Amino acid sequence: MYVFRDGKRTVSGAELVSSLLSALGRWLIAPEQEKEDRALEALIAAGELECAMLDGGSNRLSSLHACNVASEITEVLARALLTEQRDLLSSIIQKAEHIAPAATYEVAVQEGFAYYALHPRKIAMLLDELEVQRPMAVIGIRSIGVTLSAVACASLRLRGILCRRITVRPTGHPYDRSLEITPELREWIEGSRDAGFLIVDEGPGISGSSFLAVAEALVKCGVREQRIHMIGSRAVEPAALRAPNAAERWTRYHFHVLQNAPLPPAGAGEGFKGNGRLWREYFPCEESSMPASWTLLERAKFLSDDGLSIFKFEGFGHYGEAIGARAKLLASSFFSPPYLGNHRGFGQYELVPGRLLTLRDRSPELLERMADYVALRSNAFASKIPQTPELERMLRWNWQVEFGEELSIKETQLRAERVAVCDARMMPHDWLCTTGGTLLKLDAGIHGDDHFFPGPCDVAWDVAGAIVEWEMRGEERDRFIREYEARSGDAIAKRLAPYLLAYSTFRLGWSKMAALAMQGQPDEALLERDYQRYRAVALRLRHQQNIERGRRSADPDSSLRSA
């Protein structure tokens, strides 16, 4: 099933440099309690710029010089993060101001920093445990490996260990990547003959092939397998990796896993078990409406030590900043709980007492409240990033995999007329009725722009999501559409049908994939329940849409809404 999106975006080089300079400026004047957050923001911006320049650079001397300057900045900032010193920031700002980037770059999301609470300090913590003694040659796997490798080098150098750093990007099929051994790479490896080799990245992913590609390239250049160490962010069972002969290949090298538990923000108490079970632990929930969770991929969460707020991981640096801006606006518009800021990548929200909604709460008043909410998002969170063509590919692929037939071009044509960062979680259990009777939207800032689909897309995704999740049909559905159109000025009805199919098809794919990943866990049955429900909805929607197309063929003036 196709549920993870690519997330790459095209960014101007000037914007990347400007982001770095802004982050450096904020760090330079940050009060003591914000120093670490601002330092991490600047380091991530530097690593992102370095990665973009290395991926998009040419062999011209000016380009190579700019890449070297960017690499130097990342390494200096990594050291500054670990030492908590700001004495070199003014000189770093001057160097950054003179970087001449290319016009545009393609930038990937650094997933560990954006979604999975991978704090770079964990690299230093692990290296302290390993007690490295010999010189080390550190290889970062781009993208996130740029920043992680810089922190690894800084940590080793602070302990007096000689260290060299380079970054690489393996290419090819995700399950069978390879690394081209360029003359420059071979020369770098041969210049590190007496060193141990340290390969740094998040993951490994499903296949492990990126780590293996780099390790095996080292072996081809004459490095003994015993001298190759890999550092990743999750433990794996080699036999479960999907790269060819992964079990046998993986065990040739030393693999070290970073600390799994997130570094909690100040004021955090105990973490919620399973993370995704937060609402089930804190709010009473009926068995029939128990929300399912893919707990392995849920964001880390903590209850505050005073029990009055919760911390949810929203992202380090600019990733968390974007989510925080949405959370502030929604809170000030009285659609979401009060937002108390981002600390160490965790957004803090006031814990408002109340109960989670169920389908029995569906009412005209609720439909109006949801229409108000979606209309606000359609304008307030309008996106400069266009809707990805991946969304249509996801619909076609998942439908064919699940039902063994192809959808027509018209059925998968997702017209993007009002692109925004959607909510993407319009389920009943993501709405709260406070003890005072106010309806608040929970979990509203993250999911429309996370690791999964949809990413920034037409607001029709949320209108479709509300219709599917609240099981609206007939006049009730038509009323909700009218309420949204009246509030937003967006004539959405004519483009809605493919989004209904896309939403339900994505959710069936997500639930099916999650159920397989959670085999043997309590959530497996809940995810299987959801999969069967979304599957039935998708089939019903397509049947109704086929009937409606037949009606329109006979009567061109028939309404789309009659489906």
Q: Mean pLDDT over residues 247-251, rounded?
A: 97
How far does Cα 483 stand from its chain's mean position? 32
DSSP symbol at 382? B
For tokens 């500054």, what's the residue? 80
- In the prediction, which pLDDT does 285 show? 72
Fold of 355-562: Aminoglycoside 3'-phosphotransferase; Chain: A, domain 2 (3.90.1200)
CB 77 within 8 A of CB 41: no
**217 pLDDT above the threshold of 80:** yes
pLDDT value of position 369: 98
* pLDDT recorded at residue 557: 59
Dihedral over Cα of 442, 444, 447, 450: its sign: negative
> Which residue's entry shows tokens 């108390």?
340
Compute the average pLDDT of residues 161-175: 96
Q: How far apart are CA 295 and CA 507, in angstroms?
A: 16
Query: What is the pLDDT confidence band of residue 58, given thresholds at 50, 70 and 90?
Result: low
pTM: 0.93
Q: Could you tell me where the DSSP H helices lie in 169-253?
A: 183-190, 209-220, 246-250
Query: Can you give the pLDDT at residue 273?
Result: 46
Sign, Cα dihedral of 132, 263, 72, 319: positive
pLDDT at 281: 65
Q: Please state the rounded mean pLDDT for residues 151-166.
A: 97
Burial class of residue 73, CB neighbours in 10 A (0-12, 13-18, 19+)? buried
CATH class for the domain made up of 1-108: mainly alpha
Q: What local confidence, expressed as pLDDT, does residue 278 receive?
A: 55
In angstroms, the CA 525 to CA 522 distance is: 7
Q: Which pLDDT tens digit goes with each residue over 304-346?
A: 999 999 999 999 999 999 999 999 999 999 999 999 999 999 9
pLDDT at 296: 85
* Residue 493 in this model has a pLDDT that exceeds 90: yes
Residue 504, CA distances (Å) to 398, 542, 558 in order? 11, 10, 25
Query: Alpha carbon of 474 to those of 136, 414, 481, 499: distances in Å?
Result: 67, 23, 11, 17
Cα–Cα dist 209/241, whole Å: 8
CB-CB contact of 373 with 329 (8 Å)? no
Task: Please identify which residue in the block is written with the tokens 């690499």.
Answer: 71
Phi-psi region of 8 (alpha: psi -120 to 50; beta: other; left: phi over 0): beta
Measured over the CA atoms of residue 541, residue 547, residue 553 and residue 558, the dihedral's sign is negative
Residue 548 has what pLDDT?
Answer: 84
From the list 278, 11, 293, the residue with the least C-alpha distance to 143 is: 11
Strand-pair partners of 293: none
What is the predicted pLDDT for the residue at 60? Answer: 65
Residues whose CB is less than 8 angstroms from the CB of residue 12 and which lie 6 or more positions away in sequence, other chains included: 103, 104, 105
| Confidence check: pLDDT of 545 > 80 | yes
Q: Among the listed ranges 63-67, 218-222, 233-237, 461-465, which one has the minimum average pLDDT value? A: 63-67
CB 56 within 8 A of CB 64: no
Query: Which tens digits make up the pLDDT trace of 385-395?
Result: 999 999 999 99
The more confident residue out of 344 and 287 is 344
d(CA 259, CA 377): 37
The strand pairing partners of 164, in sequence order, are 137
At 110, give phi and psi (nearest 5°): -85, 95
Inform me whether the pLDDT recorded for 61 exceeds 70: no
Average pLDDT of the chain is 93
pLDDT at 249 over 60: yes
* Token representation of residue 137: 């040659």
Query: In this structure, which amino acid lies at residue 558?
Result: S
Percent of the chain at pLDDT exceeding 90: 88
Q: Which residues contact 110 (CB under 8 A, 6 or more apart)?
A: 44, 47, 48, 143, 144, 147
Question: For 117-145, what is the mean pLDDT?
Answer: 96
Q: Does the CA dihedral 68-71-76-77 come out positive or negative?
A: positive
**pLDDT at 550 (0 to 100):** 79
Q: Residue 223 carries which side chain, given as an amino acid letter?
A: V
Tell me if domain 1-108 and domain 355-562 are identical in fold.
no
The CATH fold assigned to 111-260 is Rossmann fold (3.40.50)
CA geometry: angle 338, 302, 450, nearest 5 deg: 75
Residue with tokens 């690299």: 123
Single-letter amino acid code for the residue at 65: H
Task: Give yes or no for a contact between 259 and 122, defined as CB atoms under 8 angstroms apart.
Answer: yes
- How far out from the chain centre does Cα 435 lie? 33
Domain ranges of the chain: 1-108, 111-260, 355-562
Distances (CA, A) of 360 to 38, 387, 428, 470: 46, 34, 9, 9
275: confidence class by pLDDT, cuts 50, 70, 90 = very low
| H or E element at residue 173 | none
DSSP conformation class of 408: P
What is the distance, to the nearest Å, from the Cα of residue 403 to the centroid of all Cα atoms in its chain? 29
